């Protein structure tokens, strides 16, 4: 997960699009954000995401994950 986070930080560029109006709707604000990723960055982020998926698949049925899931279900049922 740390490798994925680092790949995103390294390769993802988010910038504001210049706006003169400060009283914008949320939709307008969303349209002012520009996100760009290079092809190499896209491949690196995709590789790290694949690694996360592979790791999840390998631990999905493990005792630790089952115990964590059961604990979360018990916690969600408490008042």
For residue 40 the two structure tokens come to: 């190499």
Q: What are the mean pLDDT values of the chain's consecutive 10-residue runs (79 residues total)?
A: 81 68 61 81 92 94 94 91
Give every CB contact of residue 23 below 8 A, 6+ residues apart in sequence. Answer: none
pTM to 2 decimal places: 0.51
Instruction: Catalogue the long-range contacts made by 65-69 (C-beta closer than 8 Å, 24 or more residues apart).
Output: none
């Amino acid at each position: 997960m740390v490798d994925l986070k680092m790949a995103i930080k390294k390769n993802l560029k988010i910038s504001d699009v210049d706006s003169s109006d400060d009283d914008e709707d949320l939709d307008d604000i969303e349209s002012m954000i520009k996100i760009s990723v290079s092809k190499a960055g896209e491949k690196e982020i995709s590789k790290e995401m694949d690694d996360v998926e592979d790791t999840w698949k390998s631990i999905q049925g493990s005792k630790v994950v089952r115990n964590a899931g059961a604990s979360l279900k018990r916690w969600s049922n408490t008042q």
